[in-house]
Amino acid sequence: MQNKIQRLLKEVETLAAKSAQEAEEIRVQWLGKKGIVTVLFDEFKNIAAEEKRVLGQQLNALKTAVQEKTAALRGAAEQSPDNVSGDYTLPGFPHPSGARHPITIVRNEIIDIFKRSGYTLAEGPEIEDDWHVFSALNFPPEHPARDMQDTFFIRQGDNAVLLRTHTSSVQVRKMDTQQPPIRVICPGRVFRNEAISARAHCIFHQVEGLYIDEKVSFADLKQAIVYFAQELFGAGTKIRLRPSYFPFTEPSAEVDVSCNICGGRGCNICKGTGWLEIMGCGMVDPNVLEANHIDPIKYTGFAFGMGVERIAMLKWQVRDLRLYFENDVRFLKQFAGANS
Ligand code: DAH
66/199 same-domain check: no
d(CA 333, CA 114) in angstroms, rounded, equals 27
Tell which of 52, 83, 114 closes a domain.
83
76/108 same-domain check: no
Ligand 1 atom closest to 208 (CA): 12
Q: How far is the CA of 340 from the centre of ligand 1 (A)?
A: 25
Tens of pLDDT along the chain (340 residues) come to 888 898 999 999 899 988 888 889 999 999 999 999 999 888 888 888 888 888 888 889 999 999 999 988 888 877 766 666 677 788 888 887 788 999 999 999 999 999 999 999 999 999 999 999 999 999 988 765 565 557 898 988 788 899 999 999 999 999 999 999 999 999 999 999 888 998 889 999 999 999 999 999 999 999 999 999 999 999 989 999 999 999 999 999 999 999 888 888 888 878 899 998 999 999 999 999 999 999 999 999 999 999 999 999 888 888 888 999 999 999 998 988 776 5
Ordered DSSP codes for 43-91: HHTTS-HHHHHHHHHHHHHHHHHHHHHHHHHHHHHHHSTT---S-TTSP
Q: How far is the CA of 317 from the centre of ligand 1 (A)?
A: 23
Q: How far is the CA of 280 from the centre of ligand 1 (A)?
A: 5
Please report whether residue 92 resides in a domain. no
Please report whether residue 9 resides in a domain. yes
Identify which of 169, 248, 252, 310 to mutate to test ligand 1's pocket (most ligand atoms within 8 A of the CB). 248
118-123: list long-range contacts, CB under 8 Å, 24+ apart: 118/183, 119/183, 119/184, 119/185, 119/209, 119/211, 120/183, 120/184, 120/185, 121/184, 121/185, 121/186, 121/187, 122/170, 122/173, 122/174, 122/184, 122/185, 122/186, 123/170, 123/186, 123/187, 123/188
192/300 same-domain check: yes
Tell which of 83, 116, 134 closes a domain.
83
d(CA 327, CA 152) in angstroms, rounded, equals 24
Please report whether residue 270 resides in a domain. yes
Q: How far is the CA of 248 from the centre of ligand 1 (A)?
A: 8
Domain containing residue 127: CATH number: 3.30.930.10
120/263 same-domain check: yes
Closest residue to atom 4 of ligand 1, CA basis: 166
Tell me what the pLDDT averaged over the chain comes to: 90
pLDDT at 45: 86
Ligand 1 atom closest to 244 (CA): 9
Ligand 1 atom closest to 284 (CA): 13
51/156 same-domain check: no
Backbone φ and ψ of 78, nearest 5°: -70, -30
Report the predicted TM-score, pTM, of the whole model to 2 decimal places: 0.73
d(CA 227, CA 220) in angstroms, rounded, equals 11
Ligand 1 atom closest to 210 (CA): 12
Domain count, the chain: 2
Q: How far is the CA of 146 from the centre of ligand 1 (A)?
A: 13
Q: Which amino acid, residue 36?
A: I
Please report whether residue 94 resides in a domain. no
273/133 same-domain check: yes
CA end-to-end distance (rounded Å), the chain: 72
| Domain, as residue range, for 216 | 102-335
Tell which of 83, 114, 147 closes a domain.
83
d(CA 96, CA 172) in angstroms, rounded, equals 43
117/40 same-domain check: no
Q: How far is the CA of 325 from the centre of ligand 1 (A)?
A: 23
With 0-12 / 13-18 / 19 or more C-beta atoms within 10 angstroms meaning exposed / middle / buried, residue 64 is exposed
Q: How many CA atoms lie within 13 A of 88 on its CB side?
A: 3
Please report whether residue 340 resides in a domain. no
157/185 same-domain check: yes
73/121 same-domain check: no
pLDDT (tens digit per residue) in 129-174: 999 999 999 998 876 556 555 789 898 878 889 999 999 999 999 9
Please report whether residue 118 resides in a domain. yes
pLDDT (tens digit per residue) in 93-124: 888 778 899 999 999 999 999 999 999 999 99
Please report whether residue 97 resides in a domain. no
73/154 same-domain check: no
126/56 same-domain check: no
Please report whether residue 247 resides in a domain. yes
63/183 same-domain check: no
Which residues have any ligand 1 atom within 6 Å of their CB? 166, 168, 208, 246, 249, 280-282, 303-305
